[in-house]
Amino acid sequence: MRSYPQQNITYAVHADNVVRSREHVCIEALSSLNHFNRHFDAHAQSNVDALWHLLLCSTSNLHVLGLSLGNRRVISDRHVNASASWFTKSWAVGGDVSCYGAGHSGGSAGGDCESPQSFLAWPVYSNFITGDPGGKKKISVLLEAAKRGQDVRGVMRDRGYSFPFHFVNWDTAQGWVGGHNVMHVGQRHFSSHVGMRREPAYMWLSSWSTTGRRHNSRWLLNGQVSVGANQDSVSLDWMTDSCWRHIFTNDARGQREQGSLEELLLLARGGHRVRVVVGNMAAEADVLRIRGGHLSAQLLKQLSPVSSAKDHHHLLHDQARWSWQVVHTTGTIWRHEVLLGNHSVVSETRYSSAVSWFVDTRPWSSIYHSANNTIIAGSTTDIGDAVVKGADVRVRLRHVTDNGDIFAPAVNLKIEGGNSASPVTSAQVLRYLTVTRIPATLKCACKGS
């Protein structure tokens, strides 16, 4: 769901979570940096680097919170109206159209994409607040989907709130699946729409489980100070996207176990999204990097759990911490645990593990290529048209000095002069860890961040 035009400028954003409000739908889009001092709020300080959180409803209500980057203070709080176009991925047509787009035969890209009949079976699993399964759903189906690298999403059964799991883990023997969501700002309901909470404005981090248990951790947007945590029980529907295909598995030494590394690199260069499975966890790569014939993936939306025991696997640390990982096809994995708030590094671990790599089977095409301020392929009109039509956009950045390529999703885009012959489109990539190079691998340069 994306895009709202403003004074011949179109902003395209991705929905980080979705909530129903009576007969309307609202989304949160987190986050956007101010564009060269062109703000969503003209009254904010024009010389401040600001991060913008947006909450947009189909009622045309738009709530904008602006945060200064340096001291994380709220510098703007605006309620305005905005026209909008809304987009969703095709899914109800079934089969090939669902995963590949109209006219694509699928071929070797395969993927066990659902038929129209199987969509009627969604969700793949449901749990009540007691942890008991809903209907005749079997946890084994959800477990298998997680192991096969499928995208997993949750929908609260009592309030129409939908969100992605940025990190998924499981235990087959104990029979549970869990996950984290880290892209949510506290919300409040008005009579016909939803806005972000202002007093206080806080970030909501959550850990969910098929046992019905949930752990919530809240952090002020002003200064990222903890404002408490709690546990509760929730009924949840679990959805999976089967349009993913296993491409490659390396062992702990980086040797091939299954599939093709060359195909994985080819598909990554072709813009495909990539998910990794390491042991009993799975996540989508926030950033991909190809260098020296190997692929590395940055996993940046995972929280550090307290334990993997059945009764405690959903728990987060009292002092919540990120678990940032850089995973390589060489089998090397760097994990850094970083405290929220002061961003101090709690631990830094290097270990080796087998890794399975999955790519999405939806079609991607190169639409624009430029270097040294010169257009090599495509046109500014092509990319502008794609954005206006709701296309997902991924970008490739080439490191000239070390011959490496970086691939990442555009979290938001802006088109200026859309009615002109040469519109200008800008994209923002906001999640990326600076890395340092050591023989054969890359690790996070996290200290002092």
pLDDT per position as a tens digit, 438-448: 544 555 555 43
pLDDT at 437: 56
CA angle (433, 37, 187) in 5-degree steps: 70
Euclidean distance between CA atoms 27 and 195, whole angstroms: 10
pLDDT category at 380 given cuts 50, 70, 90 is confident
Structure-model confidence comparison of residues 105 and 42, the more confident one? 42
**Domain boundary assignment for the chain:** 4-81, 98-241
- Pick the range with the lowest mean pLDDT from 49-58, 356-365, 434-443: 434-443
Q: What is the mean pLDDT of residues 277-289?
A: 97
Does residue 114 carry a pLDDT above 70?
no
Tokens 């956009």 — which residue?
393
CA distance 398 to 415: 23
Minimum mean pLDDT range among 24-33, 61-70, 155-164, 175-184: 61-70
Whether 187 has a pLDDT exceeding 70, the answer reads yes
Is residue 133 reached through a cis peptide bond, with omega within 30 degrees of 0 on the bond before it? no
Cα distances (angstroms) measured from residue 400 to each of 74, 372, 445: 38, 11, 20
Give the sheet arrangement for strand 50-57, strand by strand: 74-81, 61-68, 50-57, 24-33, 17-21, 161-164, 151-156, 236-241, 125-127
Q: Answer whether residue 119 shows pLDDT above 70.
A: no
- Give mean pLDDT, residues 376-405: 84
Residue 51, amino acid: L
Residue bearing the bigger pLDDT, 143 or 34: 143
CA distances from 197 to 81, 201, 204, 230 (A): 18, 5, 11, 18
pLDDT at 88: 86
Confidence of residue 389 (pLDDT cuts 50, 70, 90): confident
Distance CA 389, CA 202 (A): 33
- 243 vs 117, which has greater pLDDT? 243
**How high is the pLDDT of residue 139?**
96
Confidence (pLDDT) at 103: 32
Residue with the bigger pLDDT between 249 and 448: it is: 249
DSSP H helical ranges for 41-182: 95-100, 116-119, 139-147
User: SS3 string of 275-300?
Assistant: EEEECCEEEECCEEEEECCEEEEEEC
**Dist. CA 33–CA 55, nearest whole Å:** 15
- pLDDT tens for each residue of 20-51: 988 899 999 998 887 644 444 444 555 567 88
Classify each residue of 324-355 as buried b or exposed e, where b means 16 or more C-beta atoms within 10 Å of its C-beta. bbbbbbbbbbbbbbbbbbeeebeeeeeeeebb
Mean per-residue pLDDT for 64-92? 82
